[in-house]
Amino acid sequence: MKLLRIDKKDGGRYLKKYELVYENKSGREKKYEIVSHHEIDSPADLGNSTSGISMAVLNDGKLLLLKEFRMGINKEIYNLCAGMIEPGETIEDCIRRELYEETGLQLKRIIDILNPSFAAVAISDIRTQIVVLEAEGNIEDHTSENEKIQAAFYTKEECRQLLDTAEFSSRCQVMVYFFTKNAFELLDKS
């Protein structure tokens, strides 16, 4: 597969639509649509910028989950606390801001930050970083009028039940699954 050109098709505030034109294995042109958070001017720009974070937030043996309304699917699902890194913001600044905005909680300590990974590789070059952290404080609603988020901490048993009955974002479902399998107990407790 050889990328021949990138054509910008449309652009909004958060997402820009591109058509990638490839030469396929048979030597024919293959057009492929993607969206990105970033301006893409050349092949080197594809997938090279990190857009945001997703957080696995722990407190007293429980996992933070957000039950939130997502406009793209017109329903509520369980998700992780997450958000976009703003221009000039460090990853730690983003963690603190998003955690507070979506839950009212404060960062106690960062346990781990994983290398960037692709969020929806079939349709986008968007990369995010998974952060595992401990939080403290009280849950409060600091969301905008355009967000409906109910934040709560869940025990392993409650998470097991949700896995059988609730709908999730895929990243959240994986975190909940591993939480119920005691994966987070292996992390450094210092």
CATH number, domain 50-186, options 3.40.50.280, 1.10.150.120, 3.40.50.300, 3.90.79.10? 3.90.79.10
The rounded distance, in Å, linking the Cα atoms of 57 and 86 is 21
| pLDDT over 80 at 189, yes or no | no
Task: Give 128-146 pLDDT, tens digit per residue.
Answer: 999 999 999 999 988 888 8
Amino acid (one-letter) located at 136: E
Does the global pTM surpass 0.95? no
The rounded distance, in Å, linking the Cα atoms of 82 and 66 is 10
Residues in CB range of 173: below 8 A, 6 or more apart: 78, 163
pLDDT, average across residues 120-129: 92
Please say whether the beta carbons of 57 and 108 come within 8 A. Answer: no
CA 105: distance to chain centroid? 18
The rounded distance, in Å, linking the Cα atoms of 160 and 175 is 12
pLDDT, average across residues 109-133: 94
Pairing of strands 127-136, 117-118: antiparallel
The rounded distance, in Å, linking the Cα atoms of 53 and 76 is 20
The strand ranges marked E within the chain are 2-11, 16-23, 29-36, 50-59, 62-70, 75-79, 81-84, 106-113, 117-118, 127-136, 149-154
Q: What is the pLDDT of residue 190?
A: 45
| pLDDT over 80 at 187, yes or no | no
Q: Provide the CB-side half-sphere exposure for 175 (13 A, CA).
A: 24
Query: Domain boundaries in the chain?
Result: 2-45, 50-186
Q: Give the Cα-Cα-Cα angle 109, 113, 117 (nearest 5 degrees).
A: 150
